Amino acid sequence: MAPIPDHPLRYATVNELHARPFPALEVPSTAVYVAIKEPVQAQNRDRSKDVAHLHDLLDRHGSAHPQPGATHFQGTIGRAELKWESHTEFVTYTAFSKGLAKRPFDPADAEILPEDWLAAAPGKRLTSVIIRVAHMPDSEADLLAQLDDWFVPESLAVARVVDGAAVVAGDFRIDPAGHMRFAVFVAPGTGSRRVGRIVQRLCEIETYRAMSMLGLMRSRDLSARLNALDPRLSALVSGLDNAEPAPEAALHDLLTISAELESLAVQFSFRFGATAAYEAIVNQRIEVLREQRIEGRQTFGEFMMRRYDPAMRTVKSAESRLQGMAERAQRAAELLRTRVDVERSAQNQKLLESMDRRADLQLRLQRTVEGLSTVAISYYAVNLLAYLLEPLAHRFHISHGVLLAGLVPVVVLGVWLMVRRIRNHLD
């Protein structure tokens, strides 16, 4: 019996589940992470430029290239392990190297990704992160003292994560070298793959936070444009029951506003949808860390609730406002169309009444003409009958005048009856 054929996408769908494996990190180590985004819509992004840029970095170190069409790659560049991922809107590079610099978060750590190579990237730097992975200090007091020395205390978020496997910390601020900094203190006995997952989660939290905050910037632009349209729409809606302007002119203005709102919806729908998706990823990545508070310090979840969630609510508010204005404009347009239809119906009614009056006048004129036509037909009929009956009248010694006088009432009555019968038949 021949084996059953596989669906052409069977292996592709399964391989997608394993497309982006977590790194395995030894302690101590340093991770340098960069996300690059082209300033274009995702559907217009040229992924071949990202691949060519990756090839340029690999060629500098004589490393092998990824397979054609690959969206992720892991290889070696010098003493570091490189992880490359291509996403819908951006591309990420993560370089993992063993050991720690003497100076915490030394900008020289980031030189593993050369500056001239980054400057030639097909896009702009969305985020840049240095993650310091070290052993857990002997005491919690020593750990907090280091964190207070490295980060801004007011913005510092710190928590014990993954059932106490590590302590993660960061202040979500960009240092003078242009990098964001995170620290990971690993408890004894924590496996290298678990450490890799924690570091990967931190990179994802920062990346998707940055991507979702793009929606906030766009929502501010949208709010400015809606602020200009809102008074025009409100004025048109409040003037629906006024005689001026004319309904046709008001409807034209309203349709213009509706077209502008629909255009804004098309321009901003992708970014708002992507922002909602990125926000969900950020919250999910923080949730899987399973944070535990350390000495009353704020956790990542609390930091996001205070600083990040209001921004996302602003985006949702702008999106809801756009939808609300579009619906309001649509309802107003329907009311105006109804008003225009009612006025046109009234005009048509007056036109029909005028046509009825004209038809009545025409009927009266027609009846008048019918009376005259009866006289005319009778005149010719009397003369014709007179010519036919004149020989007979001579035989009976009836004069021509008497013959005509006798024919007139008979012919007129006959013609009148004939015309009436025809009119009744037509009616």
Residue 242 pLDDT: 65
Q: Which residue has the tokens 């510092």?
A: 156
Task: Kindly state the tokens that stand for 14.
Answer: 């399964």
Helix (H, G, I), strand (E, B) or coil at 35: strand
Q: Is 199 in the same domain as 225?
A: no
Q: Is 57 in the same domain as 165?
A: yes
How many other C-beta atoms can be found within 10 angstroms of the C-beta atom of residue 44?
Answer: 7
Is 4 contained in some domain?
Answer: no
Q: Is 145 in the same domain as 250?
A: no
Is 3 contained in some domain?
Answer: no
Is 5 contained in some domain?
Answer: no
Q: Give residue 350's Cα distance to chain centre.
A: 46
For the ranges 92-106, 229-243, 247-261, the maximum mean pLDDT occurs at: 92-106
Higher-confidence position of 78 and 45 = 78
Is 106 contained in some domain?
Answer: yes
- Which domain covers residue 81, as residue numbers? 18-211
Residue 395: band (very low, low, confident or very high) from pLDDT cuts 50, 70, 90: confident
* Helical ranges in 239-308 per DSSP H: 247-289, 300-303
Last-in-domain residue among 177, 211, 245: 211
Residue 119: is its pLDDT beyond 90?
yes
Is 1 contained in some domain?
Answer: no
Is 51 contained in some domain?
Answer: yes
Residue 241 pLDDT: 66
Task: Kindly state the tokens that stand for 27.
Answer: 């302690």
Q: Is 296 in the same domain as 171?
A: no
Is 67 contained in some domain?
Answer: yes
Last-in-domain residue among 189, 211, 233: 211
Q: Is 65 in the same domain as 140?
A: yes
Residue 9 pLDDT: 84
Residue 344 pLDDT: 76
Q: Is 335 in the same domain as 389?
A: no
Domains in the chain: how many in total?
Answer: 3
Distances (CA, A) of 194 to 19, 132, 184, 265, 293: 18, 15, 12, 43, 20
> Among positive and negative, which fits the CA dihedral 190, 192, 195, 197?
negative
Is 356 contained in some domain?
Answer: no
Residue 98: its H or E element: strand 90-98
Higher-confidence position of 242 and 200 = 200
pTM above 0.85, yes or no: no
Q: Residue 184 and residue 171: Cα distance in Å, rounded?
A: 13
Q: Is 290 in the same domain as 404?
A: no
Q: Is 34 in the same domain as 177?
A: yes
85: nearest Cα among 76, 77, 94: 94
Q: Residue 201 and residue 301: Cα distance in Å, rounded?
A: 13
Task: Kindly state the tokens that stand for 335.
Answer: 């009311």
Q: Is 247 in the same domain as 148?
A: no
pLDDT in tens, 240-253: 666 566 667 777 78
Q: Is 61 in the same domain as 118?
A: yes
Q: Is 205 in the same domain as 222?
A: no
Residue 316 pLDDT: 94
126 φ/ψ angles, rounded to the nearest 5 degrees: -85, -40
Last-in-domain residue among 317, 350, 383: 350
Percent of the chain with pLDDT strictly greater than 90: 52
Q: Residue 38 and residue 122: Cα distance in Å, rounded?
A: 6
Q: Is 275 in the same domain as 400?
A: no
Residues shown for the chain: 427
